[in-house]
Structure 1
């Protein structure tokens, strides 16, 4: 816990803190600019924050550079530190007299606080855990409808992850997320290797074809194994089998060649055939049929000649196509003839059996590699799908649990502080976005009440070591409600820090609690620092 803050510029020189509620009291006139918010900002500063020197620049401007000595108590032992305004990124470890012993970077100091407070959740810094819930005027986390945001443009997903870490449940999500990322990386590696042709790239259709090919090749090898004795004494069986296959292919080609050759012959006759009739050819016809119209017959014949011309053009194109196909068939037949000659010539050569087995085994190895690669890729696709589904399931369950915890906690606090007739805010958590709905009242002060409820719900349900609420968060909340809230703060043993004034209006019980738990009393005449630089400041009272 935070034990004390010392500064030679403080009016009181030292401000000491205790367990539970720590109150910075203002006066009954609610006087502003006397140091209430500044002291809470200093609490944020000694908890590793940096807003003090960004927002309260007038402190250094009016007081000059100075330092703050402060101590934390862990397990009954005081740990003393110093932080200077001129070098705020450095924290000094000190001895019992606050003499500097060693220096460390601010991140290192925050890591020390995280360990000392027992915040073991991986992936969450001390500032991410605590800084969000130290809500002081001037910080960027006073967003009424975004209580998870440390600053306005922070991604919703990062805010949700931070809340999950605060609840100590992120390691469950992280394990599933790591499995999903590993599966995704493995799949990318396989696909990259396939794209660079380091391993076979096989489609679903290619996989089915390879499976059929494997079955055929395995049957071939099994046939060799079962008849090895026969093959060893006579290789003609293997050769005859190959010859038979080649002959079947050749017969098919020869049948095709015969068909094409017949079609080519008919096309040639149609192209060479020619008939032409003139008017003189009809004279014999006139002898038998004097009344025939020979001129009309000539016109019809001329029409037929035109059609025949068009058909001849089409026949020439068909002839060229058939001739090309015939040439390709002849080439294929010549290739088969060469293979048959080679096979027949190797009957007496024993290496032909080895060549045959090697060819089959090589083809089988290639086909198996293709199927294994496809099956390996599909296995990783399935693993990635499963990992993502498990991640979504775990995250959904955890977010639902946290959502219920926060909403039930806020409802309980509202019931205790305001009564059952008042609706509590409602937090809805999604995978990458969230909403925080404040019902009924929408004024700024009342909306800040939602931030108070959210922080207190998380504070009571988790290991969060401290919260701080500035006086602005209590404005426009009914006096009775503030009085009950004070009692709720006081019930929690962990440290909470609030700034508040006009305490008598909250009733004698609340006023007594606030007075008893106060760490300093500030007023128009007793400000935080030895110097009062307000434009309308009263006559300085000097250093107490």
Structure 2
């Protein structure tokens, strides 16, 4: 538990305040009976959030940082009778200092390491749940985005409702079960998507629908019949052709076909080059002197220069054509050698007595066609299996999620009704949490939409969470409490004091409450703030003089 907080910036009437020490249960920050503002009640609760690893004290308490400047907060925890001293500066707030009993720094660790330590000590180290993910939502302080009475699970204004529901399952230690099933569904969908993409981009053969499937089945029967007839006619030789031999022959023939097509294309290119080259070789004897008979003023010298340029171009192009033709001839020779090699391999593989090459080729083609049709059908059936599996797993996951969320919802609503009945002696409706689905919920008090009822519902929700889970603490600012009728506040204060976990509240105008309630608030007081020197930092910077 948190034992104390201190800072040399905490002042009262010109003097540094002594360390602020805490109770195991309720801890009250009191204001005066005039309800004075800007004295530091909310600021101190923000500092508590800072002590528990938050950043809003630095990022949102702008006036404090501007007027006080960089300062350090010292704080002490006690776990299993052992004290742990730390400090954290508003300057470099990404680290927490490990200190000795005099708050002298011994070592420094990251905020993440520090909050992991607190999670372990508070026994809140549940799967996929961080300390901030758990307690951050329950620091209900002005300037923090956690005071929305209609969305008690929200840790920030723009946070999706889904995140709050996920956090709820983590705090109730239900998330691991959900996550495991969710991963199974995710993997099944990924497998289905990958297989479907392979079909789409023709990486694997597949029919498109059941009509094509049946058509393929009929074709397979026809081909099997042809294969049986072929084997009957050549039973002795074909009995020696095993499946591996057949497959090898088919693959060799396919490769041979590709090479032959490539050779035909290259030979076609070679002919084109030869035609172009012959065109370049064509020259016409030009008698430019005779030209003068018709055009006495023709510039023969200029015409000869142009003709010389054309000869140079023909020379360059002729050289390039020769090199290109040579490259094509080399490629044709190489492919021809490969074709010869493949033909020899096919002959060797298919060299079986009593079976002609034509029969063997026909046998291999039939086997190959049958297998391709079977693959296309099997891949179609495989995709349907994957779709069915994905759908069933999704349905199973949705049912599990619904059961888990329903169980959590029922536990919370039952506890809130118990608490509400204590506060109102069973005479008023209790707040209700309705989780519609995994990404949507509502929170309200039936037949009572007043401001006081809404904030009362928020506080009851927090107390229910504190009693049902391993949450170690709650923080409630006067912003929430002062909206609630006095009669309800009296009962809520009594409930606070009955709990064995630390609760931090701020409140003022306590003289308006019954004596018993005043006594509780005074007894649990850890800090009392007031104007003109009694503010948290000893002064208020909103005054003009």
Q: TM-score range by the shorter chain?
A: 0.7 to 0.9
Q: Which residue of 2 aligns with 1:74?
A: 79
Distance in 1 (CA, whole Å) between partners of 2:365 and 2:126 is 60
Could you list the per-position Cα deviations for residues 73-98 of structure 1 after superposition, in whole angstroms to 9, with x for gaps in the alignment? 22332222211112222222222322
Could you list the per-position Cα deviations for residues 113-155 of structure 1 after superposition, in whole angstroms to 9, with x for gaps in the alignment? 2333222333333212111111011111111211111222211
1:38-57 paired onto structure 2 within 5 Å: 38-57=43-62
Distance in 2 (CA, whole Å) between partners of 1:141 and 1:72 is 25
* 1:231 CA drift (Å): 7.0
Match status 1:470 vs 2:480: no
Q: Which residue of 2 aligns with 1:520?
A: 527
Could you list the per-position Cα deviations for residues 1-43 of structure 1 after superposition, in whole angstroms to 9, with x for gaps in the alignment? 2221111112323111232211112233333222221111111
* Maintained 8 Å contact 1:446/1:475: no
Alpha carbons of structure 1 residues 91 and 229: separation in structure 2 relative to 1, 3 Å: same
Distance in 2 (CA, whole Å) between partners of 1:97 and 1:222 is 95
* 1:229 CA drift (Å): 4.4
Q: Which residue of 1 aligns with 2:290?
A: none
Q: Which residue of 1 aligns with 2:494?
A: 487
Alpha carbons of structure 1 residues 76 and 232: separation in structure 2 relative to 1, 3 Å: closer
Q: Which residue of 1 aligns with 2:91?
A: 86
Distance in 2 (CA, whole Å) between partners of 1:15 and 1:156 is 37
Q: Which residue of 2 aligns with 1:190?
A: 195
SS at match of 2:467: helix
Distance in 1 (CA, whole Å) between partners of 2:354 and 2:411 is 87
* 1:400 CA drift (Å): 0.9
Q: Which residue of 2 aligns with 1:336?
A: none
Identify the match of residue 126 of structure 1 among 121, 125, 131: 131
Paired positions, count: 425
Q: Which residue of 1 aligns with 2:143?
A: 138
Distance in 1 (CA, whole Å) between partners of 2:219 and 2:65 is 83
* 1:223 CA drift (Å): 5.6
Identify the match of residue 403 of structure 2 among 373, 397, 402: 397
TM-score normalised by structure 2 residue count? 0.72
Distance in 2 (CA, whole Å) between partners of 1:55 and 1:441 is 33
Q: Which residue of 2 aligns with 1:427?
A: 433
Alpha carbons of structure 1 residues 420 and 537: separation in structure 2 relative to 1, 3 Å: farther
Identify the match of residue 186 of structure 2 among 166, 181, 204: 181
Q: Which residue of 2 aligns with 1:3?
A: 3
Alpha carbons of structure 1 residues 368 and 75: separation in structure 2 relative to 1, 3 Å: farther
* 1:111 CA drift (Å): 3.0
Distance in 1 (CA, whole Å) between partners of 2:173 and 2:528 is 37
Match status 1:450 vs 2:457: yes
Of 349-358 and 4-13, deviating more is 349-358
TM-score normalised by structure 1 residue count? 0.73
Q: Which residue of 2 aligns with 1:500?
A: 507
Identify the match of residue 112 of structure 1 among 99, 103, 117: 117
Distance in 1 (CA, whole Å) between partners of 2:357 and 2:496 is 94
* Maintained 8 Å contact 2:206/2:375: no
* 1:475 CA drift (Å): 1.6
Alpha carbons of structure 1 residues 371 and 407: separation in structure 2 relative to 1, 3 Å: same
CA RMSD of aligned residues (A): 2.6
Q: Is there any run of 5+ residues in structure 2 with no aligned partner, and where?
A: 12-16, 240-352
1:407-418 paired onto structure 2 within 5 Å: 407-418=413-424
Distance in 2 (CA, whole Å) between partners of 1:178 and 1:535 is 54
Distance in 2 (CA, whole Å) between partners of 1:37 and 1:441 is 28
Q: Which residue of 1 aligns with 2:70?
A: 65
Alpha carbons of structure 1 residues 496 and 537: separation in structure 2 relative to 1, 3 Å: farther
* 1:45 CA drift (Å): 1.0
* 1:416 CA drift (Å): 0.4
Q: Which residue of 2 aligns with 1:301?
A: none
Q: Is there any run of 5+ residues in structure 1 with no aligned partner, and where?
A: 234-346, 539-544
Match status 1:510 vs 2:517: yes
Distance in 1 (CA, whole Å) between partners of 2:426 and 2:25 is 27
Distance in 1 (CA, whole Å) between partners of 2:196 and 2:32 is 71
Q: Which residue of 2 aligns with 1:214?
A: 220
1:220-259 paired onto structure 2 within 5 Å: 220-221=226-227, 229=235
1:232-311 paired onto structure 2 within 5 Å: none
Distance in 1 (CA, whole Å) between partners of 2:233 and 2:27 is 95
Alpha carbons of structure 1 residues 53 and 229: separation in structure 2 relative to 1, 3 Å: closer
* 1:177 CA drift (Å): 1.2
Of 367-376 and 222-231, deviating more is 222-231
Alpha carbons of structure 1 residues 349 and 529: separation in structure 2 relative to 1, 3 Å: closer
* Maintained 8 Å contact 1:63/1:531: no
* Maintained 8 Å contact 2:444/2:454: no
* Maintained 8 Å contact 1:62/1:533: no
SS at match of 1:430: strand
Distance in 1 (CA, whole Å) between partners of 2:534 and 2:130 is 34
Of 27-36 and 155-164, deviating more is 27-36
* 1:537 CA drift (Å): 10
* Maintained 8 Å contact 1:113/1:126: yes
Q: Which residue of 2 aligns with 1:355?
A: 361
Match status 1:532 vs 2:539: yes
Distance in 2 (CA, whole Å) between partners of 1:47 and 1:374 is 56
Distance in 2 (CA, whole Å) between partners of 1:222 and 1:350 is 17
Identify the match of residue 154 of structure 1 among 144, 149, 159: 159
* Maintained 8 Å contact 1:195/1:201: no
* 1:531 CA drift (Å): 2.4
Q: Which residue of 2 aligns with 1:461?
A: 468
Distance in 2 (CA, whole Å) between partners of 1:5 and 1:114 is 19
Distance in 2 (CA, whole Å) between partners of 1:481 and 1:168 is 32
